[in-house]
Structure 1
């Protein structure tokens, strides 16, 4: 039986060769990855093998002071390497369970576990073009998926982007670099917000935006996107893809803070999607001009159509040249760093990447 067939077959609970959650996991290694982050590997004491889909998770019982707690972690290893299973965990501020794992879990110790579970996973027979987007420890499902594709060895087309505050906090960096160095069709990109002292960083700086995405993966419209990270990161990714006209039926996500066991648990995503059938109106109060439009038009486009000149440059929300003050109404703005949070709080928008929702009045 080949790997794809094995992954597609449901585990047989009576087969002693396959691990089930009736058996504990035994820790076999703890490898530091980044500050407050480690990859912890387990084996089955019986020697049983593990079967799961890349992207799924396990739930561990952790014997913390005050009583045991259950915590869920995405599997960072690949089912193509079935003799063990690995979890890459990061302790957030105030963490209890993960903090205990980093401080106390050592090889030879055993833990109860449930799973594997989860719907955020590659199909076992997939032959798609992928774009994996992650932030922080949300990279773990991307590591599992990329390792699986790497081990399969055929039809690999992966662009992987992972974001962190600084280079030292990039999780599983060496693992990803090793695979990308062996398979040219695995394209790896790191984005950091700031550099580490006394080190040289030659990659992307800032936050993922439309300009970066176009440079990193020019064919992003043809790819299946898998995204994992904090909700603000995933919301920014969704807004960006929607603004770029991406087919969101090929977008999949899971937060590293709340993996879902089945489709029924998945939180509803209520993003604003501009609709050309919805009418809108823009009032340029200083010019005494009112122009009708729809929700897919940008303020800059509406202004030009009305014969008004709003100075502009990049038209991608980077340069900030088209910043104008909104007097009333709501817009949907997806910018690429060309406006500060302070300006937004004071009512300013970028005309090139803002679309009107209903009636909007501007100081233009």
Structure 2
């Protein structure tokens, strides 16, 4: 039996003037897959871990552009991989899953993007991701592993179920061979007849503290749906993290410049200890002045009012009260449901008034 001929590097790096050729398709879950591409000329791929690429997808109704983060690492330069997951309203990704096969050539642009630790080198990293937001941090982790740099990575990933954790086996393979990669998975639900020893629920402050006790010393890279990233930013802000060491990328709207990356997190609501606020307690008829960094529970206690409470950090739900006016900034740890929030309820222990607020207490 003859051996396959060795394919050496081309004379130069791939340029987007040359199409990509699909070389392999690996199913990941029922609605996700990894597509591996190569350059027909044999050129090698040069990019920074965490960058993205834009494909021109030839749909029947016309060509549409779609941006995907590269899940492979430039330490393996003969190919380039994209791991994609079809959402309910996906058009381009659904076409890829159904029609993009080995041998098909497709126009691509890039690589591009600034979401990479190449721009923010550090001794210790905290990677936080959800869903296919795992792709850029997977690329960064693989780079550190391949280059033998003895990484110090706390890798936190959230998924709907254990069976939907992308790259789980590859991550465990690396983590089993170095103490510098610590894996933490959080799932919302379980798979039938499969035991799950990890975290369950939504990622919260308590989990972050348990997973990465030294989080204040780490450079944080976060990627996932915007509501997930907003929750992570709120948690880190509440924990006193230096947000200049926080970096994010949305797989729905990747940032091409550092200015865009900063703008994605510039609209966060952060209570200001110098800004005045007030809380009106409707049942007792009292109105008390405070600052935006005081909690509703602390204001009540300071004014001789009793709101039943337990844990005081947003977990038990004992201090749930209804807010009838105004806005609060609430960062809880699972002690209140989305339905309760939609109906106007808050947890007094972790809700801070952002102006004039009225509660039924």
The TM-score with structure 2 as length reference comes to 0.92
Q: For 1:196-222, what per-residue CA distance to the aligned partner results, in whole angstroms no more than 9, with x for missing partners?
A: 112111111111011111111111122
1:82 to 57, 77, 81: 77
Tell me which stretches of 4 or more aligned residues in structure 1 moved more than 6 Å: none
The answer as to 2:67 corresponding to 1:72 is yes
User: C-alpha displacement at 1:321, in angstroms?
Assistant: 0.9
Stretches of structure 2 lacking an aligned partner (at least 5 in a row): 1-9
TM-superposition CA deviations, 1:279-309 (whole Å, max 9, x none)? 1122233334333221111112222222333
Paired position in structure 1 for 2:291: 294
Cα distance in 1 between the residues matched to 2:88 and 2:322: 38
Match of 1:4 in 2: none
Q: 1:276 to 1:56 in 2, by over 3 A?
A: same
**One of 22, 25, 29 as aligned partner of 2:17:** 22
**Correspondence for 2:247 among 230, 248, 252:** 252
Residue 191 of structure 1 aligns with which residue?
186
Distance 1:58 1:283, change over 3 A: same
C-alpha displacement at 1:265, in angstroms?
Answer: 4.3
Q: Residue 49 of structure 2 is aligned with which of 41, 50, 54?
A: 54
Contact 1:37 1:171 in 2 (8 A): no
Partner of 2:142: 147
Are 1:136 and 2:125 matched, yes or no?
A: no
1:225 CA displacement: 1.1
Paired position in structure 2 for 1:324: 321
Contact 1:30/1:38, CA 8 A, preserved across alignment: yes
- What is the DSSP-based 3-state SS (H/G/I as helix, E as strand, rest coil) of the residue aligned with 1:143? helix
Aligned-pair CA distance for 1:341: 2.3
**Distance apart, 1:124 and its partner CA:** 6.4
Question: Which SS does the other structure have where 1:127 is aligned?
Answer: coil
**Is the deviation greater in 260-269 or in 304-313?**
260-269
Alignment match, 1:201 = 196
Distance 2:258 2:273 in 1: 30
Distance in 1 (alpha carbons) for counterparts of 2:354 and 2:110: 44
Aligned to 2:5: none
Please state whether the residue corresponding to 1:249 is helix, strand or coil. helix
Query: What is the alpha-carbon distance in structure 1 between the residues aligned to residue 355 and residue 230 of structure 2?
Result: 22
Instruction: Tell me the matched-pair count.
Output: 350
Correspondence for 1:351 among 343, 348, 352: 348
8 Å contact from structure 2 (residues 220, 247) kept in 1: yes
Q: Are residue 340 (structure 1) and residue 358 (structure 2) matched? A: no
Distance 1:70 1:361, change over 3 A: closer
Q: 1:276 aligns with which of 261, 273, 276?
A: 273
Partner of 2:7: none
How far the C-alpha of 1:25 sits from its partner, in A, is 1.4
Structure 1 pair 358–178 and aligned structure 2 pair: CA distance change class (3 A): same
- CA–CA distance in structure 2, aligned partners of residues 156 and 33 of structure 1: 26
